[in-house]
Amino acid sequence: MVVMVNSKNQEYSDMCNEMNIDNISLSFVIVEKGNGINPNSFDTYSVNISNKPAFKEKLIGNIVDYIKWFSDKKCLAYDPLKHKDKTFEYLEGKYINEFSEFRRSFGTNPVTNYKDKITDFDFYVLSIKDDSGKDIHIIRKMNGYKKVNEFGIFARINGNKLTQIDDKVIGIDNSVDLIVYDDLIFILNYNSIKKLFNLKGSFQQQVTNILEPVKSSKVIDDYDKFERNIRSNERLMNRLISMKRKGISFDDPLSNRTDVQNTIKDFSLDVSYKNGKIIFDESPDKESVLNLISDYYYRTTQHKRKGIVDE
């Protein structure tokens, strides 16, 4: 029996195989997300790591084990609609507008005293050079300690006395949210990708490219309104991106008029279709229009059951 290996699973396994803890070069970067009028920007700050071998080993050892644990899971293309259990995802950097800027910015800020900025930081990045010299950027969202740093105190027990720890601290556990490897992002925590990057803005730009064959085919009257509707409706936009990442082709849409008419009738779609065109302004069911151009309706051959792909 021949076992087929997912190409992204193979890339992930290759990355893990190059992570030799005895020969790792480390750097530590802290990321501060923008806010106010520019919420999708970020600043990054490099931090020197103590040269104590025991500290470095503890810092990276458990994290490497956590990353390698995912090698046995299936790696799927990122689907903005849902996450499947027992899998992790990947997303190409080209889908994210600020991806290149994010990578170039590591350590460019000259701040040397971070103590007063700890509550501003949103993510930390452990950067590793593997055996082959490639960079592996391990990203983790900073969570619980931020609130304690800002509104509470840290303390320790010295003998039988509780005393305050004056310095603000960050917590580093063995979990990982994202891994940047070459031009890929491996997503180990499904929701974290949207917290670091502006996927909505990036996906809105993708809509025009994906739907270009539909526009050229002239099968939708008032096409510009249709595209604007997709771009402004996050649920429909994510559905379109999900379709594209699953390999759905939008070439030659609605080419069989009889089948289109039968589908609209069989599924009782609230869609207006006249003279080989969908009349968008007269079609209240906007999601059905998207399903039609992507050929998402089906009927089984044996029992004639009707359905919609992915539902």
Residue type present at position 54 = A
Q: How far apart are CA 62 and CA 78, in angstroms?
A: 26
* Exposed / middle / buried, residue 60 (Cβ in 10 Å: 0-12, 13-18, 19+): buried
Q: Is 161 exposed, middle or buried (0-12, 13-18, 19+ CB in 10 A)?
A: exposed
Q: What is the 3-state secondary structure (H, E, C) of 219-265?
A: CEECHHHHHHHHHHCHHHHHHHHHHHHCCCCCCCCCCCHHHHHHHHH
Return per-residue pLDDT of the chain as tens, 311 residues: 333 457 899 999 988 888 877 766 777 787 877 776 666 677 787 777 777 878 888 888 888 889 999 999 999 999 999 999 999 999 999 889 888 888 877 766 655 666 666 777 788 888 887 677 778 899 998 766 666 767 777 787 888 888 887 777 777 888 899 999 989 999 999 999 988 888 988 899 899 999 999 999 999 999 999 999 999 999 999 999 999 988 888 999 999 999 999 999 999 999 999 999 999 999 999 999 999 999 888 877 777 787 787 75
Q: What is the distance of C-alpha 69 from the center of its chain?
A: 20
Q: What is the pLDDT of residue 311?
A: 58
Region class of 86: left (phi > 0), else alpha (psi between -120 and 50), else beta = left
Determine the Cα–Cα distance for residues 288 and 236; give it in Å rounded to an integer.
10
> What pLDDT sits at residue 42?
75
Tokens of 42: 């970020």
Q: 3-state class of 157 per DSSP?
A: strand
Q: Where are the domains of the chain?
A: 7-197, 202-308
Q: Which of 39, 94, 62, 80 minimizes the C-alpha distance to 187?
A: 80
Three-state secondary structure call for residue 78? coil
- Residue 155's pLDDT is 82
Length of the chain: 311
Contact assessment for residue 6 and residue 75, using Cβ atoms and an 8 Å cutoff: yes
Q: What is the DSSP letter of 176?
A: -
- What local confidence, expressed as pLDDT, does residue 4 receive? 41
The reported pLDDT for the residue numbered 112 is 61
For residues 186 and 179, is the Cβ–Cβ distance under 8 A?
A: yes
Q: Which residues, 6 or more positions from 70, have their beta carbon under 8 angstroms from its beta carbon?
A: 12, 88, 186, 188
Helix (H, G, I), strand (E, B) or coil at 299: strand
Q: Which residues, including other chains, have CB under 8 Å from residue 93's CB and lie 6 or more apart?
A: 99, 100, 103, 180, 183, 184, 185
pLDDT of residue 116: 64
